[in-house]
Amino acid sequence: MRKFLSAKALIGLALVLTVVAVAILSPLFIAPERATQMVMSARLQPPSLAYPLGTDQLGRDLLARVMLGAQTSLMIAVLAVGMSIVLGLPLGIISGYFGGRIDNVLMRIIDALLSFPALLLALTISAVLGPNLQNTIIAIGIAFTPFLARIVRGEALRVVQMPYVEAARAAGTRDGQMILRHILPNIMPALIVQATISLAFAVLAEAALSFLGLGTQPPMASWGLMIQASRQFLDLAPWTALVPGAALAITILGLNLLGDVLRDVLDPRVR
Amino acid sequence: MKRREFLATSIIATGALGFGFGPGPLRAQEPVSGGTLIWGHSETTQNLDMHQTGTASTARVLQNIHDGIVTINSEMQVVPQLAESFEVSDDGLTYTFRLREGVMFHDGSTMTAEDVRYSFERLRDPETGAVNFEVFNDVDAIETPDDLTVIIRMSRANAPFLARLAENGAGVIMPAGSGDIQGDTPTGAGPFRFVRREFGNEVELVRFDDYWDGPAYLDGILAREITEPTVRLTGLRTGELHFINDIPAERIAEVEADPDLQVRTWAPLNFDFVNFNHNLELFQDRRVRQAFDLMIDKEMLMQGALWGQGDTTPTPSFPTDPARNSDIAQRAQDIEQARALLQEAGYAPGTLNVVFKVTTNYPYHVDSAQIIAEWARAAGVNMTIEQLTWADWLSQVWVDRDFEMTMMNFFTIWEPDRLYYSLYHSTGGFNYRNIADPLIDELAEQARGEVDPQARIDLYKRIQQYIYDESLDVVLWYRNGSIAAQPSVGGLDTVVHPNGSNLNFHKVWLDA
Amino acid sequence: MAYLVSRLMSVALTLFLISIVTFGITNILPGDVAMMIMGTQSNPEALEGLRQSLGLNDPLLVQYGRWIGGMLSGNWGASLLFNEPIAPLIAQKVLASGLIVVMTMIMALAFAIPLGVWAARHRDRWQDTTSSTVALLGLSMPDFFIGIMLILLFAAGLGWLPSSGFVDPSEDFLGAVRHAFMPSLALALGLMAHLTRMTRSAMMGILNQEFIRVARAKGLPERTVVWGYALPNAIGPVMTVAGLQIGYLFGSIIVIESLFSYTGMGWLTYQALLNRDIPLIQSTIFVIAAVVMLVNLAVDLLYRVIDPRIRLG
């Protein structure tokens, strides 16, 4: 319990909750137009009273954009990680639970896929499908699947060997029941930890993809896009890069801290 | 009709490309020999074969390796280069070129009529995959009665032929039989010789001492490919680079005011226009096209996307082209009228959805699209932007013609036949907008075969008026080109080719 | 011996699978190279002619066979867009990126190990928290963002380092290092976070053990205990993690190299992807995946050799 109250946990939680709150609430308080409204006479303005975080090269309010951008970035990350779980969970469980040849074959394929850096996979898939919001989610989701499948498999293997699980199997429980009642609940903790850490990477991946021009599309206010657009104006107007960069850092930091804490609490191996 | 008038058929103009200067540092005027110029080039070079390459970036570098049979001067007149003189028959069917004697190629051989014949035949041959092969469509035969004479016989009059030869892509002369090595080792008769290309990194050229027009001052050129604009500018400032091209538009004012750097800006580098896919029923209605024309405040858009580095124009003709129709004025923005027109055409506010495809290859296009989308919204149109990589844009828009609206630029199309035929004729090679208008077809074909220069000019002016009246495209502006250099670089005024895009370093020097 | 053979066969099998995935992905890419070569000067006839001569119209199985056969016999084909043979191109670019990877590793370890040891020694006190914070900050900022800030600081601001480009190490080693410095630093700061934490937890685990207490009881100075006895045992897991990070590094390198115009494997792959240069895409992706796999294999084997239960003294 003490772990929940450590400074690290509190900060992590605070950061993540802030970002989530901004993501959920800001569309209610800030009209979406604020993020795309251009004021040509106020381009590349440094932070001021009228524009607390300054404006970008098309005169758009950075505060509005960065807050609404939270929604985009988080949504993409959540959906992408969700997708990797939907794809990777069954793969990992089947592999770990049934073992034997199925495991061998599946793991061979997963290992081959794991040799491709996730970002490279995401980039290639995005290039194949054409970069836009949905395809960014799909690209990141598919790219993260092998890693997740591997983790799930590892956990499933461990759980399958636990005494009471062996007992249940000896008692004749059907496979479906085994998986749902015994395997799944026991891998949940590790899965939650991994999902949190994956969220951090997904946010990072979306930013990188958008930065390379293979992610979200303008005039959407995603943080990666904002950094990409700021590339030209770095020494003229560094805040155009610093604002989304800081937002990214805060989010990723919060998620990492949270993941750390969750691991300390939930991961059975550390206990 | 006198031959001389026909020669001037391409363009006579009083001004060259309009140039702009900054205060700049004071510098010595005397050329000195020596030194290697380090050039921060904004784009990566691709295929080095002058016949096959289609990109302005590669042409910019190859400009220094290859000379053509003719070229254009700053007044956009066709003048001899590797040829000593040329004549065209009154009926426009026979072109006679008398070649210069003693022109050396980089491989040591001397240019003869055989090399000219080889180069043109190679270009014509569909197997070569040459980008400009259609220049020679009307050519019947190429004869070489002696070592220094080339006669080209046409099957019918082709007024722009000579002007097309002035483009390096078509008129370049390569040593006979060198076709196979041109992709690895471009070899020509230009002021610099190719040494090596380190893919994606740099191209090294060295002075060709036997250049027919006198050796260059520079010992060599190192063209380093630096696509990041800030990095390029920083490189110039820190002295890593002597010379850069393509300063980001928003920095030009600041660099011009910098007393430690020389800057040249000029118009035009290219023109930009907004396109409609004419195969869509939506855009077959002139009212809809005009509505979009009226949504755009061209001046403000240029300020927004180009930071004022350009000139708005209603027609894509080069500013110094006598065939340019200066009577047309761009439509001013009128959102109310736009909305009314759309309503009339059957699209109530909020009911029209349009996808605007734009390429990240030109970041200012992306900015433009966002601004246009805002105006579209004010006029009741839901415009979605699709950002495509250059490869995707070429694939979807250029080849497959799968798009609704888009925008694009074109460099170096100063020759009116090339401009209006390729872009607007129903069979034109650049007509990705599917424009199929019988009147334009008729006018363009007529102009191509029209031998009288004034009659030709009138035809092109009619075409421009028609394009404007029908809002076939929405022509936006000419974009400024820019180069900047360290104070030690001399001869900066000779660098930019009259076509507005290529760069030639023959008369450039580095102070000791 | 048998183990080695089975590992080798496993490697071959994985490489085969990698090649299939690579081929599969690259051939679903829309758009084609012929059109990229011609740009906006293209027309349908010229395009078709070019496509035919480039062999783009042959059935997929034939193209795959041609590719594999070529690779095995040492002929990796030519980059369609740039007319350069691929094998020497990739060889040079692998070296270029290799320089970055090596420098990144050195920098990251040079920071992480002392920091991790320091944190472990002063566990749960302010030193620990500080080092964790510093590490986490490095982990949280996207490396391309760090790269941008480095450019601003060192190139534009102070003018100490070149802001872009690449120099061949075999020609000018010092120049090569100068150009690779900032890209490597940008990557190292992120990697350092991981390794610091790993060092810290490994050290903490070891410092608790019996043999350390024995060494201390013998009266050995603390410094010797930590650096001479504990650390060598912690190195194993740390190096393992470092090795496994190389896979991730090769992903990040794509972005970093593009940012710095540093023409290594990452930059090459990205350009190939953008330009639909199929042979180049296939080769670069395959090489990256193969390198990552081999590195992972090496780390795995090394791990078996450097058993963390080995002790000294």
C153 to chain A, any CB pair closer than 8 A? The answer is no
All partners of chain C with 3 or more CB pairs under 8 angstroms:
A, B
Write down how long chain A is: 271
Half-sphere exposure of residue B227, counting CA atoms within 13 Å on the CB side?
A: 19
**What is the pLDDT at residue C136?**
77
Mean pLDDT value across chain B: 87
Is there a contact between C285 and A124 if contact means CB atoms under 8 Å apart? Answer: yes
C31 to chain B, any CB pair closer than 8 A? The answer is yes
Give me the helices (H) in B379-497, please.
390-393, 416-424, 438-449, 453-470
Is there a contact between B304 and A40 if contact means CB atoms under 8 Å apart? Answer: yes
Is there a contact between A256 and C148 if contact means CB atoms under 8 Å apart? Answer: no
Instruction: Establish if A44 belongs to a structural domain.
Output: no
Residues above pLDDT 90, as percent of chain B:
53
Instruction: Establish if A43 belongs to a structural domain.
Output: no
**What is the pLDDT at residue A198?**
93
Do residues C161 and B231 make contact, with C-beta atoms less than 8 angstroms apart? no
Instruction: Tell me the whole-structure pTM to 2 decimals.
Output: 0.78
Among chain A residues, the shortest Cα distance to C252 is held by A119
**Whole-number Å distance between alpha carbons of A23 and A20:** 5
**Whole-number Å distance between alpha carbons of A211 and B472:** 35
Instruction: Please indicate whether residue A214 or residue B62 has the higher confidence score (pLDDT).
Output: B62
Q: How far is CA C251 from CA A124, B323, C26, C277, in A?
A: 11, 53, 17, 19
ipTM of this complex: 0.82
pLDDT above 50 (res B10): no
Domain containing residue A61: CATH number:
1.10.3720.10
**What is the pLDDT at residue C159?**
60
Q: Name the domain count of chain A.
A: 1
Average pLDDT over residues A97-122: 89
Bridge partner list, B103: none
Instruction: Establish if A41 belongs to a structural domain.
Output: no
Instruction: Establish if A174 belongs to a structural domain.
Output: yes
C155 to chain B, any CB pair closer than 8 A? The answer is yes
Average pLDDT over residues B398-423: 89
Q: Return the amino acid letter for C117.
A: V
Nearest to B415 by CA among B59, B71, B20, B50: B71
The two three-digit tokens of residue B134, written as one number: 């259609």
Number of helices (H), then strands (E), in chain A? 11, 0
Considering only CA atoms, give the Rg of chain A: 22
Which C-chain residues 81-140 have CB contacts (< 8 A) with chain A? 129, 132, 136-137, 139-140
Which A-chain residues 99-128 have CB contacts (< 8 A) with chain B? 127
**φ/ψ (deg, to 5) at B357:** -90, 135
**What is the pLDDT at residue A152?**
92
C30 to chain A, any CB pair closer than 8 A? The answer is yes
DSSP sequence for C4-57: HHHHHHHHHHHHHHHHHHHHHHHHH-SS-HHHHHHGGG--HHHHHHHHHHHTTT
**φ/ψ (deg, to 5) at A161:** -85, -10
Residues of A in contact with B360 (CB under 8 A): 213
Is there a contact between C29 and A128 if contact means CB atoms under 8 Å apart? Answer: yes
B230 to chain C, any CB pair closer than 8 A? The answer is yes
Interface test with C, best of B38, B199, B406 (most C CBs within 10 A): B199
**Whole-number Å distance between alpha carbons of B419 and B356:** 24
Asked if the peptide bond before residue A32 counts as cis, ω within 30 degrees of 0, the response is no
Mean pLDDT value across chain C: 80
Give the sign of the dihedral formed by CA C235, CA C236, CA C239, CA C244: negative
Q: Which of B7-21, B427-441, C15-29 bottoms out in mean pLDDT, i.e. has the lowest?
A: B7-21
Torsion of CA C4, C6, C7, C11, to 10 degrees: 130
Nearest to B54 by CA among C36, C276, C55: C36
Buried b (16+ CB within 10 A) or exposed e, B123-160: bbeeebbbbbbbbbebbeebebeeebbbebebeebbbb
pLDDT above 70 (res A21): yes
Is there a contact between A123 and C254 if contact means CB atoms under 8 Å apart? Answer: yes
* Greatest C-alpha distance within chain C: 86
By Cβ distance, the residue of C152, C250, C290 closest to A234 is C152
Minimal C-alpha gap between A43 and chain B (Å): 9
All partners of chain A with 3 or more CB pairs under 8 angstroms:
B, C
By Cβ distance, the residue of C142, C156, C289 closest to A115 is C289
What is the band of B239 on the pLDDT scale with cuts at 50, 70, 90? Answer: confident
**What is the pLDDT at residue C169?**
61
Report pLDDT digits (tens) over A63-73.
Answer: 888 888 888 88
Interface test with B, best of C56, C153, C164, C269 (most B CBs within 10 A): C164
Average pLDDT over residues B289-312: 92
**What is the pLDDT at residue B9?**
30
C256 to chain A, any CB pair closer than 8 A? The answer is no
DSSP sequence for A221-242: --HHHHHHHHGGGTTT-THHHH
The two three-digit tokens of residue B201, written as one number: 């990194």
Q: Which of A30-34, A45-49, A128-132 bottoms out in mean pLDDT, i.e. has the lowest?
A: A30-34
Report pLDDT digits (tens) over B336-366.
Answer: 999 999 999 999 999 999 999 998 888 899 9
Minimal C-alpha gap between B70 and chain C (Å): 21
Minimal C-alpha gap between A210 and chain C (Å): 11
Instruction: Establish if A139 belongs to a structural domain.
Output: yes
**What is the pLDDT at residue B5?**
32
C148 to chain A, any CB pair closer than 8 A? The answer is yes
- Give the domain extent around A216: 7-30+56-266
Report pLDDT digits (tens) over A44-83.
Answer: 888 888 788 888 888 888 888 888 888 888 999 999 999 9
Mean pLDDT value across chain A: 84
Minimal C-alpha gap between C146 and chain A (Å): 9
Chains B, C: CB pairs < 8 Å: 126
Chains A, B: CB pairs < 8 Å: 54
Is there a contact between B430 and C40 if contact means CB atoms under 8 Å apart? Answer: yes
Instruction: Establish if A258 belongs to a structural domain.
Output: yes
Low-confidence stretches of chain C (pLDDT beneath 70):
1, 29-43, 54, 80-83, 155-171, 305-313
Instruction: Establish if A37 belongs to a structural domain.
Output: no
Instruction: Please indicate whether residue A212 or residue C158 has the higher confidence score (pLDDT).
Output: A212
